[in-house]
Amino acid sequence: MELWFTEHHTEHVKFSMKVKEQLVNKQSDFQHIAVLDTEEFGRVLTLDGYLMVTEKDEFIYHDMIVHVPMATNLNIKKVLVIGAGDGGTIRELTRYPGIEHIDMVEIDPMVVETCKEYIPQTACSLEDKRVHIYYEDGLKFVRRMRDEYDLIIVDSTDPFGPGEGLFTKEFYGNCYNALNDKGILVNQHESTYYDEYVEAMKRAHQRIKETFAIAKVYQAHIPTYPSGHWLFGFASKHYDPEKDLDVEQWNALGIKTKYYNTKLHLGAFALPNYVKEQLSEYE
Amino acid sequence: MELWFTEHHTEHVKFSMKVKEQLVNKQSDFQHIAVLDTEEFGRVLTLDGYLMVTEKDEFIYHDMIVHVPMATNLNIKKVLVIGAGDGGTIRELTRYPGIEHIDMVEIDPMVVETCKEYIPQTACSLEDKRVHIYYEDGLKFVRRMRDEYDLIIVDSTDPFGPGEGLFTKEFYGNCYNALNDKGILVNQHESTYYDEYVEAMKRAHQRIKETFAIAKVYQAHIPTYPSGHWLFGFASKHYDPEKDLDVEQWNALGIKTKYYNTKLHLGAFALPNYVKEQLSEYE
């Protein structure tokens, strides 16, 4: 039997992967959840039909969303993670002995349960005793926090569906308040290659720039995301991810990574001209 | 009507684009040639069914194969280009007033004729008076040259079909001899994400390293190539593309680029750990 999962990257572009077996196919209170076992990418999580995580390339996304802020400030002790139900971001964070406390706020418990059962590669560290999981709306959670965190990671879905509120000015303002005076906010920032993503990406960047003293964008090669050219936002009240990168100290930690290294950390902020132009258009 | 062009990136991964119209569908002495007018990517050239060039993202490939060596040695005057029938590499080279002479060796005249007629976006500078086109086998052409060029660009198809010989040790040795004592060789270097490409890529790099004093690999985000993470090889008898990059002088030229800039030039050599490991495995 030929079974294929196809995602439309735009109305006119499709990306398809051969499926061995569909392992999960269910509806939560928030979204449709599926897990596919694929030939090329191992197990794959989809939400509302959109590819979220694959076993083959999740290391790229999780390396880049975690190690870039951590190598910029090695004194991070208290972290808030919003979304991230697959657990990959938590797995990378728990590799830092200096982190004392991680709050994870995920709206959909069924995503976490599903990943624990079917994608242990990412969900393997959710039982770490420093991790505190709250099943609630990240927007509401962050609104009641003041001066609390060294780092907030917004590991969200796309800016439509359940993740939509995580791309608003109000949300970024609440994150600002929830961070202490040296706090860092990192978020997944969509892409710029296909027109469908550009506007959301530009709007998000503009709103973050209006809120934080430092707001930069960095990139990674994530083959299973639309265009393969994915962006992350780095915003901070104090730290500059290029100037404050602590090469020696980070390497002294001995954290073995498959994608990230400190040279690549700096290279990731070297954006193509067309991306730089898009990011500056609202300025 | 729904008309889709599909390329298999691996046996288990497909990339598809919606086609407005097939403009060219013919067989040359060397390969099948098609031009498609697509909704998302504009006009697209395929050879033997493999996507070569799209109007939407050709600027990335051509920026990176030309401006990286040029910004490393701004005194380049004589260039040999092998392959490159679409003309995009020539277009970027002709923007440098310091270049005096370009030999282009393309095995298949029908590719050049087709691109001149259907993809003028890339083929627009082939009539430049510095450009000398030879319709012959690049392997044979380079074999009879000694100490002739400042730069050789191998803008080849994949290491199977007509382009196969352009990935051999003998060919790299002949390029070495055809270059003068400060000569640079740049080639398209495939990718590392899918297993199908890794071996050819590793083998090519190993052969180049055995031939040239300096051999580095750099990367770009090319959305329509398999995995979107594409590599180029930089080899040289003298110049180091990171240490010898002349930021001020290149920017003084005022060449406007949509992808390349001198910060990105350096960032492109910051490879992910898994790519670095693959490249060093044969060492």
Which residues does B152 contact at the CB level (< 8 Å), separation at least 6? B79, B80, B81, B82, B142, B175, B178, B179, B183, B184, B185, B186
pLDDT: is A161 or B62 the higher one? B62
- Of B38, B54, B70, at which residue does a domain stop? B54
* pLDDT > 70 fraction of chain A, expressed in percent and rounded: 98
Tokens of A44: 């794959």
- Kindly state whether residues B212 and B183 are assigned to the same domain: yes
Looking at CA atoms only, how far is residue A21 from chain B in angstroms?
13
Name residue B152's beta-bridge partners.
B80, B185
pLDDT computed for residue B165 by the predictor: 78
Looking at CA atoms only, how far is residue B74 from chain A in angstroms?
21
Window 190-209 of A: residues touching B by CB (8 A cutoff) are 193-194
E strands, A63-167, where?
Answer: 78-83, 101-105, 131-134, 149-155
CATH for B17: 2.30.140.10
Selecting from A17, A265, A274 the residue whose C-beta is nearest the C-beta of B258 gives A274
Contact residues, chain B, for A18 at CB < 8 Å: 11-13
pLDDT at A208 over 80: yes
Contact residues, chain A, for B269 at CB < 8 Å: 267
Q: Is the CB of residue A260 less than 8 Å away from at least one CB of chain B? A: yes
Is B162 annotated for ligand binding? yes
pLDDT at A223 over 90: yes
pLDDT computed for residue A282 by the predictor: 62
Q: How many CB atoms lie within 10 A of CB B201?
A: 21
Contact residues, chain A, for B36 at CB < 8 Å: none
Q: Is the CB of residue B11 less than 8 Å away from at least one CB of chain A? A: yes
Known catalytic residues of A are: 155
Question: What is d(CA B67, CA B254) in angstroms, rounded to the nearest whole number?
Answer: 12
Cβ separation of B229 and A223 shorter than 8 Å? yes
Band of residue A200 on the pLDDT scale cut at 50, 70, 90: confident
Query: Across all residues in chain A, what is the average pLDDT?
Result: 95
The residue behind tokens 């040279």 is A263
pLDDT computed for residue A157 by the predictor: 77
Band of residue A171 on the pLDDT scale cut at 50, 70, 90: very high
SS3 content of chain A, % helix, strand, coil (to 5): 35, 30, 35
Q: How many CB atoms lie within 10 A of CB A136?
A: 12
H or E, element range at A265: helix A262-267
pLDDT at A283 over 60: no
Is B86 annotated for ligand binding? yes
* Phi and psi, residue B59, nearest 5°: -60, -30
3-state secondary structure A14-72: EEEEEEEEEEEEEECCCCEEEEEEECCCEEEEEECCEEEEECCCHHHHHHHHHHHHHHH
- Kindly state whether residues A172 and A99 are assigned to the same domain: yes
For testing the chain B interface, which of A193, A261, A278 should be mutated: the one with the most B CBs within 10 Å? A193
The angle subtended at Cα A33 by Cα A27 and Cα A39, nearest 5°, is 145
* DSSP-derived 3-state class of residue A89: helix
- Kindly state whether residues A78 and A182 are assigned to the same domain: yes
Closest to B16 (Cα-Cα) out of B8, B24, B25: B8
Is A88:A63 a contact under the CB 8 Å cutoff? no
What are the residue ranges of helices labelled H in A129-261?
138-143, 169-178, 195-211, 247-252
Closest to B196 (Cα-Cα) out of A27, A40, A56: A40
Tokens of A33: 């959840």
Contact residues, chain A, for B261 at CB < 8 Å: 270, 272-273, 276
- Of B54, B71, B86, at which residue does a domain stop? B54
- Kindly state whether residues B135 and B39 are assigned to the same domain: no
Please name the amino acid found at residue A241. Answer: P
pLDDT computed for residue B190 by the predictor: 84
Query: Across all residues in chain B, what is the average pLDDT?
Result: 95
- Kindly state whether residues B223 and B238 are assigned to the same domain: yes
Question: What is d(CA A55, CA A37) in angstroms, rounded to the nearest whole number?
Answer: 10
For testing the chain A interface, which of B4, B40, B59, B63 should be mutated: the one with the most A CBs within 10 Å? B40
Contact residues, chain B, for A274 at CB < 8 Å: 258-259
pLDDT tens for residues B90-133? Answer: 999 999 999 999 999 999 999 999 999 999 999 999 999 999 99
Is B158 annotated for ligand binding? yes
For testing the chain B interface, which of A12, A62, A247, A256 should be mutated: the one with the most B CBs within 10 Å? A12
Question: What is d(CA A121, CA A41) in angstroms, rounded to the nearest whole number?
Answer: 13
- Kindly state whether residues B127 and B219 are assigned to the same domain: yes
CATH for B212: 3.40.50.150
Contact residues, chain B, for A272 at CB < 8 Å: 60, 221, 258-261, 264
Q: Which residues of A are annotated as a binding site for spermidine?
A: 62, 86, 155-158
Q: Is the CB of residue A281 less than 8 Å away from at least one CB of chain B? A: no
- Kindly state whether residues B9 and B108 are assigned to the same domain: no
- Kindly state whether residues B23 and B68 are assigned to the same domain: no
pLDDT computed for residue B282 by the predictor: 61
Q: Based on DSSP, count helices (H) and strands (E) in chain A, helices before strands.
A: 10, 12
pLDDT at A225 over 90: yes
- Kindly state whether residues B50 and B62 are assigned to the same domain: no
**What phi-psi label fits residue B49: left (phi over 0), alpha (psi between -120 and 50 degrees) or beta?**
left
Cβ burial of B274 (10 Å; 0-12, 13-18, 19+) is: middle
The count of domains in chain A is 2
- Kindly state whether residues A14 and A128 are assigned to the same domain: no
Question: What is d(CA B96, CA A145) in angstroms, rounded to the nearest whole number?
Answer: 56
- Kindly state whether residues B151 and B32 are assigned to the same domain: no
Domain carrying residue B196: 58-280
* DSSP-derived 3-state class of residue B213: coil
Q: Is the CB of residue B161 less than 8 Å away from at least one CB of chain A? A: no
Name residue A82's beta-bridge partners.
A105, A154
- Of A29, A54, A79, at which residue does a domain stop? A54
Cβ separation of A11 and B261 shorter than 8 Å? no
Cβ separation of B38 and A223 shorter than 8 Å? no
Looking at CA atoms only, how far is residue A212 from chain B in angstroms?
24
pLDDT tens for residues A120-142? Answer: 999 999 999 999 999 999 999 99
Which residues does B73 contact at the CB level (< 8 Å), separation at least 6? B150, B151, B182, B184, B239, B244
CA dihedral A36, A187, A94, A55 (to 10 degrees): 20
- Kindly state whether residues A208 and A115 are assigned to the same domain: yes
The predicted model gives A59-78 an average pLDDT of: 98
